[in-house]
Amino acid sequence: MAPSAVRTRSGATLVLGLALATVALLLLPAPSRTKAADGWGYWWGRVHAECVTFTTSSEEERVYAHVSTTMSVHNRGHFKHWVTNFRLKVRLVATTEGLDINNNWRTKRWPVHGELNQDYDYDHFPMVENTWAQDAESEWDLQARLIWDRRAPLADIVHEVEVPFDTSKCKRGAKPKSPSEAPSLG
C-alpha cells in the first residue's frame, strides 16, 4: 500500500470521527443537574407541554396545556439541603396584543401527604399538571415552575421555564372534570 493511501484513509477516519463527536455534543441535552461536593444534588427533566382542545357546552373552543416533567433529589446531610416535597406549578399567559389575562397557577405536589425523608434518593416521573382552559383563538406562553420545598430558614429551590405554547397541533381531549383532575391523554 502506498504511503499516500494510508494518509488519506487516516485523514478520512479523523474527519469522520470529529464529525461524529461534534454531532454527539450538539445532541446532548442542556445541563439540568446540580451536585454539591457532599453528594447532595437535584435534577429535572425537560418540561413537555401538550396542547389539548375541547368544545364547551356553549360550543366554544378551549385549550389547555397538559404539562409533564421529571423531578429528582439526592437528599443528603442533616438539615443541610434536605428537600421535603416536589411541586410543579403551571399556567398559560396571554401574548395576544390587547389581551391582559393574569391566570392563576395550577399546582401538583408530591408527596401529597407527608414529606420526603433525609438520606434517600427520590425520582418522580411523571410530575403532571394541566393549566386552566383558555380561549383557543388567542396566543399563549406556558410558564412552569419546578420547586424543591425545603424547611425554613432554607430557601426553596425554584427552576423557572417559559416557552411559547403552540396551539396549531392540539390533540382532541375531554374537558377536565375538576380543577385538580387531569383528563387522561394516554
Q: Can you give the three-state secondary structure of 126-145, one letter per residue?
A: EEEEECCCEECCCCEEEEEE
Cell numbers standing for residue 59: 360550543
Q: Which comes out higher in pLDDT, residue 33 or 127?
A: 127
Give the count of beta carbons closer than 10 Å to the beta carbon of residue 60: 12
Check whether domain 33-172 has CATH 2.10.260, yes or no: no
Closest CA to 94 of 143, 61, 31: 143
Per-residue model confidence (pLDDT) at position 143: 95
Neighbouring C-alpha atoms within 13 Å toward the C-beta of 27: 6
151 pLDDT band (50/70/90 cuts)?
confident
Please report, for the chain, the start and end positions of each structural domain, with discontinuous segments joined by +.
1-30, 33-172
Q: Which comes out higher in pLDDT, residue 167 or 180?
A: 167
Average pLDDT, the chain: 78
Alpha carbon 85 to its chain centroid, in Å, reads 16
Per-residue model confidence (pLDDT) at position 53: 94
Alpha carbon 13 to its chain centroid, in Å, reads 39
Per-residue model confidence (pLDDT) at position 102: 67
| Stretch 64-82: mean pLDDT | 86
Per-residue model confidence (pLDDT) at position 96: 78
182 pLDDT band (50/70/90 cuts)?
very low
* DSSP track, 77-97: TTTTS-EEEEEEEEEEEE-ST
Strand partners for 85: 149
Phi, psi of 157 (to 5 degrees): -95, 130
Question: For residues 112, 38, 33 and 159, what is the CA-based torsion angle, rounded to 10 degrees?
Answer: 50
Q: State pLDDT tens for residues 91-128.
A: 999 887 766 666 889 999 999 988 998 888 899 989 99
Gyration radius from the chain CA atoms: 23
Cell numbers standing for residue 147: 420547586
Per-residue model confidence (pLDDT) at position 97: 75
Per-residue model confidence (pLDDT) at position 76: 81
Whether 129 has a pLDDT exceeding 90, the answer reads yes
